[in-house]
């Protein structure tokens, strides 16, 4: 038990925020969820619902209280706009920590149109800056834990393991070398990733100027959907996005295989990405809260990822398990056809994280969820209309001659 200390979870109704809120409540924290239901409204905009049926938040919270006797509080407000309300909430609740998920989280969605680009920048940057300003104005010593992304590093081939936020360099001066440690150079690949890069600059400033205690979690692509807490009752089930804007690549492959749709591989599939299971996401957030930086310490950065895989290898794995066809589509992104990615992740391992590794058994669990709710799948939503530039062609059919069933 954590002595009833208060934690505010911004974006606590979302894919990562909901299971994190339950996990923290299970650990004994007093949790307040803050959300404006923007993600639910985007479902309506896209005309696509979560694969799993998501109960209204009021129902979710009532079921949790009935099961556990614990009350998770809720405040509906827009963190990017309702600054004064946010300050009052902090002063009233005096939280030990704020977990910040309150940002538009999808790269394809951020690239759909000028409107989506502007919304992503306005929402994400204003939300982060409002949180930082509000902490300072409250006068409270609140630890901010932010969910960032591995994508701030870019997806080129670095030729080395990507460090956890800071890079050791030497600068040649007057015939000698001066050792320095600098923030790892960012290389964002979308408007979404750029907002996370700008977040990092805001964190560095408020950490230096106001001594705010900040932890930035550079998270890999999340797969899976449920945690021990969300499995306790059907009304607690987590959302599962499978469409082309918000559906993460492995989850999308598993749903496609479950309904007999070709696996949608963009380009050659040589892109290497970092991954983490949703169960490890919630554990990492809890570990970050329990191990805050000291007052005056620089921004603490973790690479919140447990393994790396090439996209084509994941497609072949799913095809081997299910017999699905692998089909290649024109890549809508401006990125290298292939890259290597090695990630340092010793920070959470030192704190005791025992990672969930990709395995056939866990994949079958997710496939079972996909099959159970197959009647909710809209096959027309697997591909996104988002394009990084207008001159990239829209490919709805795929290059069929390069597909085929992966040999067992």
**pLDDT > 70: percent of the chain:** 97
pLDDT in tens, 195-224: 999 999 999 999 999 999 999 999 999 999
pLDDT in tens, 80-134: 999 999 999 999 999 999 999 999 999 999 999 999 999 999 999 999 999 999 9
What does the pLDDT read at residue 401?
A: 41
Computed over every residue of the chain, the mean pLDDT equals: 94
Mean pLDDT of 45-63: 97
What does the pLDDT read at residue 157?
A: 80
pLDDT in tens, 17-28: 999 999 999 999
Q: Is the pLDDT of residue 295 over 90?
A: yes
First to last CA, the chain: 48
pLDDT in tens, 323-343: 999 999 999 999 999 999 999
Closest to 366 (Cα-Cα) out of 278, 246, 254? 254
Active site members: 149, 192, 196
What does the pLDDT read at residue 218?
A: 97
pLDDT in tens, 382-395: 999 999 999 999 89
pLDDT in tens, 348-376: 999 999 999 988 778 998 999 999 999 99
Mean pLDDT of 34-48: 97
- Is 0.85 surpassed by the pTM of this model? yes
- The more confident residue out of 159 and 151 is 151
- Alpha-carbon distances, residue 337 vs 224, 268, 328, 334, 376 (angstroms): 26, 6, 12, 9, 33
Rounded to whole angstroms, the maximal C-alpha distance in the chain is 70
**pLDDT > 90: percent of the chain:** 91
Task: Report residue 227 as tokens.
Answer: 């945690």
Give the integer Cα–Cα distance in Å for 199 and 111: 18
Q: Is the pLDDT of residue 312 over 80?
A: yes
What does the pLDDT read at residue 175?
A: 86
Domains belonging to the chain, first-starting first, are 6-402 (3.40.50.720)
What does the pLDDT read at residue 404?
A: 38
The residue with tokens 């997806």 is: 155
Residue 399 banded pLDDT, cuts 50, 70, 90: low
104: left (phi over 0), alpha (psi -120 to 50) or beta: beta
Mean pLDDT of 257-282: 96
Give the integer Cα–Cα distance in Å for 23 and 72: 11
- Alpha-carbon distances, residue 307 vs 301, 318, 352, 355 (angstroms): 18, 17, 16, 9
Give the integer Cα–Cα distance in Å for 167 and 182: 5
């Amino acid at each position: 038990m954590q002595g009833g200390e208060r934690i505010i979870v911004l974006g606590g109704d979302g894919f990562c925020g909901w299971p994190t809120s339950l996990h923290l409540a299970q650990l004994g924290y007093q949790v307040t969820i803050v959300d404006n239901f923007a993600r639910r409204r985007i479902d309506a905009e896209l005309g696509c619902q979560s694969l799993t049926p998501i109960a209204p938040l009021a129902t979710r919270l009532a079921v949790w209280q009935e099961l556990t006797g614990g009350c998770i509080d809720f405040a509906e407000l827009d963190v990017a706009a309702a600054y004064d309300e946010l300050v009052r909430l902090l002063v009233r609740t005096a939280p030990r920590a704020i977990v910040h998920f309150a940002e538009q989280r999808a790269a394809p969605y951020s690239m759909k149109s000028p409107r989506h680009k502007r919304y992503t920048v306005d929402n994400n940057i204003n939300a982060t800056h409002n949180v930082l300003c509000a902490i300072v104005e409250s006068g409270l010593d609140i630890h901010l834990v932010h969910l960032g992304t591995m994508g701030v590093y870019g997806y080129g081939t670095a030729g080395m393991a990507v460090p956890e936020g800071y890079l050791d360099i030497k600068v040649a001066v007057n015939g000698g070398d001066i050792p320095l440690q600098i923030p790892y150079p960012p290389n964002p690949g979308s408007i979404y990733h750029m907002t996370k890069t700008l977040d990092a600059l805001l964190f560095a400033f408020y950490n230096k100027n106001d001594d705010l205690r900040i932890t930035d979690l550079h998270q890999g692509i999340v797969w899976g959907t449920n945690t021990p807490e969300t499995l306790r009752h059907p009304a607690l089930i987590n959302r599962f996005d499978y469409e082309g804007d918000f559906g993460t690549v492995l989850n999308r492959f598993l749903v496609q295989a479950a309904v007999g749709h070709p696996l949608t591989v963009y380009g050659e599939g040589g892109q290497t990405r970092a991954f983490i299971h949703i169960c490890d996401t919630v554990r990492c957030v809890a570990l970050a809260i329990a191990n805050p930086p000291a007052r005056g310490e620089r921004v603490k950065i973790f690479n919140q990822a447990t393994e790396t895989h090439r996209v084509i290898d994941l497609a072949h794995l799913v095809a081997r398990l299910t017999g699905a066809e692998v089909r290649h589509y024109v890549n809508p992104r401006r990125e290298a056809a292939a890259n290597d990615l090695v990630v340092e992740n010793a920070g959470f391992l030192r704190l005791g994280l025992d990672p969930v590794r990709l395995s056939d058994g866990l994949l079958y669990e997710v496939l079972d969820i996909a099959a159970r709710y197959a009647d909710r799948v809209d096959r027309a939503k697997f591909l996104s209309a988002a394009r990084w530039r207008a001159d990239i062609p829209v490919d709805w059919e795929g290059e069929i001659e390069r597909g085929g069933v992966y040999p067992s």
